[in-house]
Structure 1
Amino acid sequence: MDAKNMKPESLAAQALGWVDEATRAIAPPIHTATTYLRDEDNQYRSGRVYSRDQNPSYDQAEALITALEAGHQSLLFASGMAAATAVFLALAPGDHVVAPKVMYWSLRNWLKNFATDWGLVVEFIEMDSAAALQAAIQPGKTKLVWIETPANPLWTITDIAATCRIAHAAGALVAVDSTVGTPVLSQPLTLGADIVMHAATKYLNGHSDVIAGSLTVRADSPTWQRIRAIRAQLGGVLGPFEAWLLTRGMRTLFPRVRTACASAQRIAEYFDTHPHVAEVLYPGLPSFAGHSVAAAQMQGGFGGMLSIRVKGTNERSGEAAAIATAAKVQLWKRATSLGGVESLIEHRASVEGPGTPAPSDLLRLSVGIEDAGDLIADLEAALKLAHA
């Protein structure tokens, strides 16, 4: 069967159906060589010179991500931060960049500090507002609009297609952090985005044992070639074993994400009217501000991430009650990160510190693939103990 006619689920499960011609193995080998033999006439017909950015272990993972995102080409990086910062470093000092106020905290800090000190002019806006983007964008000067949707940790939804229309009319590129959306639920490139980024540590790998990042481009461009050069010259590349693990992880991407989405929806609906919960933030709830946009640009679910705001008591503030709730869970794990097979809970404001958009009473939940009823019962018990 031609791979072009296969569903994404089949492409992911078989990692594009690759078979090693030498051994007939259905799992790829791990290439640890750092350098490659030059031909007798001094050429490199293999296409490989040095392993820093040319390791064969990258090939299958990059090809699979490209296929799932319906893109032109993908690049693996040593981390999501390495991937994301490469996009900004491909710009020039003095370029104007528009980014969301609600976004991954480490990248936001990098933009406010290193990128600004380096010379980029970074403007943070409410990215879910087309009017705010229209007011911020500077035709001919704005070179990049960065989107994160759903955006961590409030799960704010940005209309990708509408943002692309505004940005492209002004001559700016659009890059989308689709870590939470995943290729299972969203394909930003088909909606007009130029680049899609994944913190592949999260859902793409899905097992909390790899740090990785990826970029996929819709079409080749001078900016993409600069990104390629930045990866090679700065050396923010993935190890061959990590690339192998990433490929292995993506084989179960679809069932993992779909299980997490179904459980997150059930958990959000259960706690939406809970007496100890002030608010549930989840795009799958009809009451959520970005629900209609999410329903239009996400297929098959609304993601495995949600947040709950915990009510205070006569003795405890909402913040204290939230921290106490996290302290009482048994099945949920108190840990940073997201997208793994295990469910995680985190008091996000204390992690991000001053300036965070996360309310102090907010708990961020990454829903794994455990039984949804068990996850609900565990969180229910913890909330009761925190409010006793």
Structure 2
Amino acid sequence: MTLSVSLSHSFGGFRLEAAFEAPPGVTALFGRSGSGKTTVVNAVAGLLRPHRGRVAVQGEVLADTEAGVWLPPHRRRIGYVFQDARLFPHLTVRQNLTYGRWLAGLRDGAEIGRIVEMLGIGPLLSRRPGALSGGERQRVALGRAILSGPRMLLMDEPLAALDDARKAEILPYLERLRDEVGLPILYVSHALAEVARLATTVVLLEAGRVTAAGPVAEVLSDPGAAQGLAPREAGAVLLARIEAQEEDGLTRLATGAGPVWLPRVAGAPGRALRLRILAQDVMLALEVPQGISALNHLPAVVEELREDDGPSALVRLRAGEEALLARITRRSARAMELRPGLRLHAVLKAVSVAQENAGG
């Protein structure tokens, strides 16, 4: 299901001029606070009427200011999960889950059971929201949105109010939602680790403008797009598969760039996951590395070199079927005579493949 968005809106000195196409899967709107992410989502939901714009889902026009089309929120069949769960405090978890379903005229009990099992909220059904943790409340909010029978989901920073432990608890459920439910999702976040782990497509917003959009692995490894990110955020995403759990406590992963070893990652051989490789954690070597402690080094070819205004340079590499991004000093780039087509080796520091940067 494709989402097509073209919006023009201004308020309080801020101007939004954004247009993008979101294919099936999880499309992440990423940008700093105040970049316009929530404005876009509210316009898609029908909670904000833009001065000019058009919103269509799989060819059906939800809003078109020029044609005078404006479907109210309750007719758009869109589920919305907010930063705070917004559950009804006087209803039990079961009643919260079925409320939206009842409004939509849906009665399939089997579907309720499937979503309850997927989100792991069966033991919570008789409780009220006040007796739940933050992560549990967000899982219930997810279930309520899904069970209302939407054509797509909007999620506006659903993890922002949670601490790290609760985020780690809920991320696997979001991955299951992406992989098993099949609903298209527009996901707002200012946390690039979430985007890298969950998204299939990313739209970068800055000061109300779209600066880049496309498949997450392609955009995040683009030096031009990376220059708009904080230095510690730039990096690439690799698709990986567990090959073996080895006797010394390491997990061997197969990637399109070559084998990678991590400290033990839970899962049986065959489990798919993603690795986020930060640009600052990639070193470059002109010869095959020898006598070093780093286990992970991959043959690569320089595709692009872009120097910034400071002392750094971003290098896009092609390693097998995958793209990597390395941040090195301009002095090193010149000393190594880096240029497109040069063959070398990318050395991944241990922290770049730590378990917090691996996700399914």
Would you call these one fold, judging by a TM-score over 0.5?
no
* TM-score normalised according to structure 1 size: 0.29
* TM-score normalised according to structure 2 size: 0.30
Greater strand content? 2
Greater helix content? 1
